[in-house]
A = this chain, B = another copy of it.
Amino acid sequence: VGFVTIKDVAKEAGVSLGTASRVINNVASVDAKNRARVHAAIEKLGFIPNRSAQSMRKGLSGEIGILVRDFTIPVLGGFVRAVQTVLDEAGYILLISSTENRKNRELDLLGQLSRRRVDGLIMTSASETDDDLVASRERLGFPILFFDRDVHGSSDCVLIDHTEGTRQAVSYLLSLGHRRILLVTGNTETYPAYARIRGYVLAHEAAGITVDPTLIRGGSFESHSALVESSSILDTATSTRPTAIIAGGIDMLPGVLKAVRARGLRIPEDISVIGNSDSDLAMLATPPVTVVKWDYREVGHTSAHLILDRIYKRAPERQRRIVIPTELVIRGSCGPAPTQPGRG
């Protein structure tokens, strides 16, 4: 019932508080007979230690926070689960929440976790540089692990290699003859967006092709934004219309696909499409969608291990930056550039 305390256990077992505590915490120096008695008492009474009391005494909560934009997005949910697998194992419990990319919500949640005295935090901030956000992180008092955010300072970062992923995707499209490739991506103040833009530029440079800046749309990572951005450019004149679209955010493929469908464009005959992160949708769409993907389990496991290192203070002082590779999975959504772009 949760009302049995260690006192009750000690009394039942006929030992002192201290001995009961030692048994519960597996301290070696306890007589076998007493140990057995205490275990029997625990069993009989149904004693369950109170974590709040333990936390207070030990100064450690056994809780780790994890803040992502939206854990409902499959690839982020998968990341969270992978983190949880490792942290469960280590005896920690995860406090999961979605920031919805809203600064004030992020600030609130940071406060919550602070009150909760979590032992560590894994997060993807809405901004790497915003003053309030940075300040509020800095007085947190527990280690932070940034996931897919390249933050200046001493906190570790686990990053996905979006630059290389996008470079490969763009090179592939370029090799198919595309010259007007739209990159829809998120807030350019954050790593996933500017890293992808860098890859986009790199690929063009390598091919000796000038980049048209109007083809880079960095707004928000919301799924809705992908729909809006791709819709608007698809409605322009033939000469300014792209022949290929890269959904440069984990949540953007649905929006891009909707925009394309709404205009009756055929994939890949009229327009080529590449997604970021794999999904059932990408695999089962007609045609299946070519994607830049990565192993989110690996990302999750790595993040969990890095934060544990910090908590146990077994990590070097200096910041660690781990970059996880991406892979271009070619499926049926890209074809040769149409001679006349758009509605064939």
Contacts and interface: CB of A to CB of B under 8 A. Distances in A.
A140 B48 CA distance: 10
A253 to B, nearest CB: 8
Nearest to A258: B284
Number of copies: 2
Contacts of A96: 94, 96
Contacts of A88: 97
A254 B140 CA distance: 43
A115 B284 contact: no
A112 interface: yes
Nearest to A95: B93
A115 B281 contact: no
Interface in A45-68: 46, 48-53, 55-56, 61
A288 to B, nearest CB: 9
B46 A254 contact: no
A149 interface: no
A106 B225 CA distance: 39
A285 interface: yes
Interface residues of A, number: 50
A93 B116 contact: yes
B81 A77 contact: no
Given A72-B77, A84-B98, A286-B286, A93 B114 contact: no
Interface in A85-136: 88, 93-98, 111-112, 114-117
A27 interface: no
Given A117-B50, A117-B52, A112 B141 contact: no
Contact of A139 (B1, B111, B283): B1
A71 B79 CA distance: 11
Nearest to A98: B81
Contact of A93 (B2, B72, B112): B112
Contact of A51 (B70, B81, B98, B116): B116
Contacts of A95: 93-95
Contact of A52 (B56, B80, B141, B285): B56
Given A2-B141, A71-B81, 11 more contacts: A1-B141, A2-B117, A50-B56, A51-B117, A52-B56, A72-B81, A254-B283, A257-B284, A258-B284, A261-B284, A284-B285
27 contacts: A2-B114, A2-B141, A46-B139, A48-B111, A50-B115, A50-B117, A51-B115, A51-B116, A51-B117, A52-B53, A52-B116, A53-B56, A71-B80, A72-B77, A77-B77, A81-B98, A84-B97, A88-B97, A93-B95, A93-B112, A93-B116, A254-B280, A254-B283, A261-B284, A280-B281, A281-B281, A286-B286
